[in-house]
């Protein structure tokens, strides 16, 4: 097994080196004073979780047979430079949802939630025996990327996408569930969600915010993508009556949606595919960025002319509502062709941010100032 892992690691190193050679940092446009660098080369880099001197990196199957790999990347806690990545597993099923609970790593795969051993994750002794916790999750590859976030209440929140484009969800499909880290007390906290692909709690008001990707095949410019805010347990966010925003789906246009549907606090251009995001809390960036959302847009696949492939800034007010958007970083899309696709964003302790890119197979670090 150890030889097998070493061989896999060598193959992945060659593949990542090939991918990283295609990175075109000179095309990335950022506001004045910001810089970007390749922080680490990690194949299929998607979801990120920042720990004490390390970053866990998950992957997800996007239809190409991948999504089996879980990595860890150590970093120097003084300089924040990345060390050599460590292969944790190569036989998982879309290990995309990542959370650290009192240092213990939890991973939401497509079909289950696991705890990575019983002790806090140790970068010097990273391989532990995974233990399944909680109920089985919906085991379907269509929208099977499970995003997960630890709430301020100590519970884990997991998004369960629907196994279709437009259909009436059944069971836990189209919901966000929460449970205790020991797997007990499973609750449905939100419904009417097509494919939530990013969860974050506001450090200011404690509410859960989440992205949701709109339905396909409704047109180049319909429906909008969403940033939503959950203010009460049990709220419904409109799917499948709405394909995104207030755009009605033809499949359910003759049915009345629930009266209490919650509409997004911010809409984005159709098919830009908003994924992971943060509420910026650091001191490195200018003070005006504090409390604002930085959100990765993965990009389109079913649009005449591609859009997305960038990072958006959503300006937030003191009540926790969105008051406007602007492009923060762009350049992964050139002349209608993309060389990279931003996926997730996390903040390092020094206030710089990490951005994963599952197409280029890298993690970028964006910093401000010298």
Given a cut of 60, whether residue 7 has pLDDT beyond it is no
What is the predicted pLDDT for the residue at 263?
98
Residues 222-233 have a mean pLDDT of 98
CATH architecture for the domain at 2-368: 6 Propeller (2.120)
Q: Are 363 and 356 in contact (CB under 8 A)?
A: yes
Least confident stretch, 7-11, 235-239, 265-269: 7-11
Q: What is the pLDDT at residue 143?
A: 95
Banded pLDDT at 119 (limits 50, 70, 90):
very high
Q: What percent of the chain has pLDDT over 90?
A: 91
Q: Is the pLDDT of residue 11 over 60?
A: no
Contact yes or no for 88/73 (Cβ under 8 A): no
Confidence of residue 9 (pLDDT cuts 50, 70, 90): very low
**In the structure, what pLDDT confidence band is assigned to residue 284 with cuts at 50, 70 and 90?**
very high
Neighbouring residues of 102: CB distance < 8 A, sequence distance ≥ 6: 120
User: Could you give the CA distance from residue 286 to residue 266 in angstroms, rounded to a whole number?
Assistant: 23
| Cα distances (angstroms) measured from residue 102 to each of 32, 70, 154, 200, 203 | 38, 20, 10, 18, 18
Give yes or no for residue 2 having a pLDDT over 50.
Answer: no
Distances (CA, A) of 348 to 77, 343, 359: 10, 16, 22
In this prediction, residue 330 has a pLDDT band, given cuts at 50, 70 and 90, of very high
Return the pLDDT at 302: 86
Binned at pLDDT 50, 70 and 90, residue 370 comes out as confident
pLDDT at 114: 98
Q: What average pLDDT does this structure show over 138-145?
A: 93
Burial code (b: 16+ CB inside 10 Å, e: under 16) for 319-341 equals ebebeebeebbbbbbeeeebbbb
Residue 20's pLDDT is: 53
18 pLDDT more than 70? no
* pLDDT band at residue 12 under the 50/70/90 scheme: very low
Residue 186: per-residue pLDDT: 98
Which of 12-26, 75-89, 197-211 is predicted least confidently? Answer: 12-26
Residue 74 has pLDDT above 90, yes or no: yes
Res. 280: pLDDT tops 90: yes
Task: Look over the chain and give the mean of its residue pLDDT values, rounded to a whole number.
Answer: 93
Inform me whether the pLDDT recorded for 243 exceeds 60: yes
Q: Pick from 244, 299, 247: which is nearest to 274 by CA?
A: 299
């Amino acid at each position: 097994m150890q030889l097998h892992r070493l061989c896999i690691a060598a193959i992945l190193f060659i593949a990542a080196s090939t991918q990283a050679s295609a990175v075109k940092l000179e095309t990335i446009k950022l506001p004045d004073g910001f810089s970007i660098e390749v922080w680490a080369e990690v194949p299929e880099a998607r979801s990120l979780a920042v720990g004490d001197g390390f970053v866990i990196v998950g992957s997800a199957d996007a239809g190409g047979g991948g999504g089996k790999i879980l990595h860890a990347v150590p970093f120097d806690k003084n300089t924040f430079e990345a060390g050599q990545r460590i292969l944790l597993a190569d036989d998982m099923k879309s290990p995309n949802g990542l959370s650290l609970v009192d240092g213990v790593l939890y991973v939401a795969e497509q079909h289950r939630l696991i705890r990575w051993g019983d002790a806090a994750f140790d970068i010097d002794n990273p391989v532990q025996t995974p233990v399944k916790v909680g109920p089985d999750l919906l085991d379907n590859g269509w929208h099977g990327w499970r995003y997960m976030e630890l709430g301020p209440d100590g519970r884990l929140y997991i998004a369960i996408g629907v196994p279709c484009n437009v259909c009436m969800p059944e069971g836990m499909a189209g919901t966000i569930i929460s449970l205790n880290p020991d797997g007990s007390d499973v609750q449905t906290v939100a419904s009417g969600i097509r494919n939530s692909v990013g969860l974050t709690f506001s450090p200011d008001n404690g509410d859960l915010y989440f992205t949701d990707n709109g339905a396909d095949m409704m047109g180049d410019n319909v429906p909008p993508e969403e940033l939503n805010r959950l203010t009460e347990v049990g709220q419904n966010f409109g799917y499948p009556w709405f394909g995104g925003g207030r755009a009605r789906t033809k499949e359910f246009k003759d049915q009345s949606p629930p009266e209490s549907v919650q509409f997004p606090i911010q809409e984005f251009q159709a098919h830009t595919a908003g994924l992971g995001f943060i509420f910026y809390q650091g001191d490195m960036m200018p003070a005006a960025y504090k409390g604002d959302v930085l959100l990765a847009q993965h990009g389109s696949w079913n649009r005449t002319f591609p859009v997305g492939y960038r990072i958006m800034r959503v300006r937030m007010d003191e009540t926790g509502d969105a008051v406007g958007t602007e492009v923060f970083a762009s350049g992964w899309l050139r002349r209608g062709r993309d060389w990279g696709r931003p996926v997730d964003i996390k903040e390092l302790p020094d206030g710089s941010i990490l951005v994963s890119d599952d197409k280029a197979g890298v993690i970028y670090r964006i910093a401000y100032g010298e």
